[in-house]
Amino acid sequence: MATFLTRSDASPEGEGLSHEAARALSHDLRTPLTAMAGWVYLLETGKLDEAGVKRVAAKLQNNIDDQVRTIEKYLGSTTQKDMAE
């Protein structure tokens, strides 16, 4: 299960994430990306039948959903307006 970070994981100096929090975030974002790269490779080989393509598409969607949840959990209630400031 992914380890989610919040704004409270910021370094005490107020300079963004602590080293540990940044490592955890990096892991939580990269793990699904690695899986997605593998699924794309399978699609590119052209060796999957129709059912295989559908399974891979479902797996890719699950990985994308995981990424979105990780990002939303990390950003919390940050809005587009907050990010523009």
Could you report the per-residue pLDDT of 19-68, keeping only the tens digit for each?
A: 888 888 888 888 889 999 999 999 999 999 999 999 999 999 999 998 99
Block residue for tokens 């990390």: 74
The answer to the question of residue 85 being in a domain is no
Residue, of 16 and 7, whose pLDDT is higher = 16
83 inside domain: no
Is 4 within the bounds of a domain? Answer: no
Evaluate whether residue 24 is within a structural domain: yes
How many domains, in total, are found in the chain? 1
Q: Quote the pLDDT of residue 84.
A: 57
Q: What CATH number does the domain containing 49 carry?
A: 1.10.287
Q: Is residue 8 part of a domain?
A: no
pLDDT of 16: 63
**Residue 27: which domain range?**
16-77
45-69 burial, b at 16+ Cβ within 10 Å, e below that, comes to eeeeeeeeeeebeeebeebeebbee
